[in-house]
Amino acid sequence: MGRCFVGIMVPEHIRDVAISLQKRLAEFGMKCKFVEPKNMHICLSFLGEVDDRKIEDLKRALDAVAERYKSFDIKIGKMKFIPSENYIRVIVLSVDDLLERMRKAVVEAVGGDSKPPHLTLCRVKYVDDKKRFVNEFGEVVCGETFRVGSIQLIKSELQRSGPVYTVIHESRLS
């Protein structure tokens, strides 16, 4: 099958806000690789290379997790710098803690590598003036909400132009 992860693809209105933040970041002049708008998601668990024979088991496990949850709203929050303001390698938007319980349930059901839920804006190569950068962006808050109605099993194919994501299964929340 290839590289896969479990996540939540974000709706268009969230992508629009994230794109406008990416444009502001680009104006700052740092060196980075922005996440393509069509690929914006919240990762619950990165599974890595998955054997085709395991896909059906993954689908069933994700369906079982989804059955335990009702649709709910989450809020996209503050801009954060990973791992820290002094050593910026990834810029993300935080996500409500409401997803944390679901993330843990997904990891328990299917395994994988998982971090606290967030929406990645870009991977940073270099920031000229970190102090000025943090002053300008450290308090930026998205503040938008969206309804989580499903979790997806997503295939990631690396291509010369960047990753291409394909939803191979969607598990609807009850």
CB-count exposure of residue 14 (10 Å: 0-12, 13-18, 19+) = buried
169 is catalytic: no
Residue 168: what are its φ and ψ, rounded to 5°? -100, -15
Q: Which of 15, 80, 118, 169 is catalytic?
A: 118
118 is catalytic: yes
**For residue 131, what is the DSSP state?**
H
Residue 8: what are its φ and ψ, rounded to 5°? -130, 115
Q: How many Å apart are CA 133 and CA 111, to the nearest integer?
A: 36
- The SS3 of residue 118 is strand
**22 token code pair:** 């990416």
Q: Which of 4, 8, 41, 45 is catalytic?
A: 41
The residues annotated as belonging to the active site are 41, 118
